[in-house]
Amino acid sequence: MSKKYFGTDGIRGRVGQDPITPDFMMRLGWAAGKVFAGNNGNKVIIGKDTRISGYMFESALEAGLSAAGADSLLLGPMPTPAIAHLTRTLHANAGIVISASHNPYYDNGIKFFSAEGTKLPDEVELKIEDMLDQPMRSNDSVDLGKALRIDDAEGRYIEFCKSAVAFATNLKDLRIVIDCANGATYKVAPMVFDELGAEVIPIGTDPDGLNINEECGSTHPDWLRNTVLETRADLGIALDGDGDRLIMVDHTGKVIDGDELLYVIAHDRVRRQIMNGGVVGTLMSNLGFEHALERLNVPFIRAKVGDRYVMEQLLANNWYLGGESSGHIICLDRTTTGDGIISALQVVSAVVETGRTLNDLVSGTGMTKYPQTLVNVEMSERIDVNQIDSIQAAVRDAESTLADTGRVLLRPSGTEPLVRVMVEGQDDNQVEKVANELADVVRQAVNG
């Protein structure tokens, strides 16, 4: 069955436009409260990022949950992965995150976590949607839910993050710039690294409800890069608005993306002989990353774009490490979901234990990103390019030209009538030439 409200990562949209409205959120809270009710009570954790609409939606969800007889445990601004962790450790029936991740302040959304701290399976999301179609009826007063604010949530999560590295880990010789994107990590991220001994230079830690992700964080690393260079820091860490993705900057100002960070983590696990299984990337993971893992004898498979698809492949293969180029990294041997702080700690721990710079751990150990060219081809109407013979012939020709030194990917947009033509390989000029030639064939075939 197709879903009406839930996308690949919860429910998200523009505040004030259906379904991101207070009345929908109240009904969503009620529907979720009914679906999650269990024999061990009915309590649901609610956390949020720092965007101004979070206050409104927190209250609406709390009202709906109360009407369904569910107790709300309110965390206030907390990273998405913190909510996953606390849902599990506080033995809640579910967790709700009010966040639109790396989107601007005028967007917002809802993500759910199960009692185990994992994303919801499709069948549970469908149950919630089915309940949303039912008339909302409040419980009698004696059966209404209550609300309780959890005052020690930050401390609990900070200690959990610190436990993700060896107890003896000491960052006293590192100067680290941390960009919290004026988002949910603005308190906890600097405290984690400070308590581990680092000299922390925090930026993006002054949220006003409107400046989340604004020219800062993992999607805008220029501020981080400049601050690292100005302060002569050893490295920089950029998180997004809800703290589940990560980009880093080395001491030279080079931006280190998710593929490179995953390689550093995998390489360090191989070095310590604790690498269990392989790595899951996505269709957009760089070919140079795949080839670098091959040299480490680490298996690699590609999932569809989206962290839930990476998670599906990790669970299916009983592997622990995966992620996306955008910096959404999952370390299942440390936690149950993508966590920017915990992923950063894995990288920083490797820096400390090896005595090498972040730059050296990427380029000095065999990871080289291949040049990539992406061309967007607009279509007059949505067409399945896999069914057009001339396009498939051109793809085969492109793959033959690149041989085993490159890769071709045609990826239709999920939201716009266009096809993304992506070509990558070892030779920059060849990659650009092949991409443009293939895009011309696609353009002619889909538009006549």
Reported as a single tens digit per residue, the pLDDT across 152-183 is 999 999 999 999 999 999 999 999 999 999 99
pLDDT (tens digit, 9 = 90+) per residue, 341-360?
999 999 999 999 999 999 99
The verdict on 147 and 161 lying in the same domain is no
The verdict on 397 and 317 lying in the same domain is no
CATH number, domain at 417?
3.30.310.50
CA distance linking residue 175 with residue 362, whole number of Å:
19
Can you give the pLDDT at residue 1? 64
Among candidate residues 92, 118, 151, the one where a domain is terminated: 151
Among candidate residues 332, 363, 394, the one where a domain is terminated: 363
CATH number, domain at 353?
3.40.120.10
CA distance linking residue 44 with residue 62, whole number of Å:
9
Among candidate residues 363, 396, 422, the one where a domain is terminated: 363
Q: Residue 134: pLDDT above 70?
A: yes
Can you give the pLDDT at residue 164? 97
Domain region containing 119: 11-151
Can you give the pLDDT at residue 39? 63
The verdict on 403 and 307 lying in the same domain is no
Question: For 35-49, what is the mean pLDDT?
Answer: 89
6, part of any domain:
no
Band the pLDDT of 41: cuts 50, 70, 90. confident
Instruction: Give me the chain's average pLDDT, please.
Output: 94
Q: Residue 2: pLDDT above 90?
A: no
The verdict on 286 and 210 lying in the same domain is yes
140, part of any domain:
yes
Q: Is 413 a catalytic residue?
A: no
pLDDT (tens digit, 9 = 90+) per residue, 195-227?
999 999 999 999 999 999 999 999 999 999 999
Domain count, the chain: 3
Q: 53, 72, 99, 101: which is the annotated catalytic residue?
A: 101
Q: Residue 445: pLDDT above 90?
A: no
**pTM (two decimals):** 0.93
Can you give the pLDDT at residue 20? 97
The verdict on 237 and 205 lying in the same domain is yes
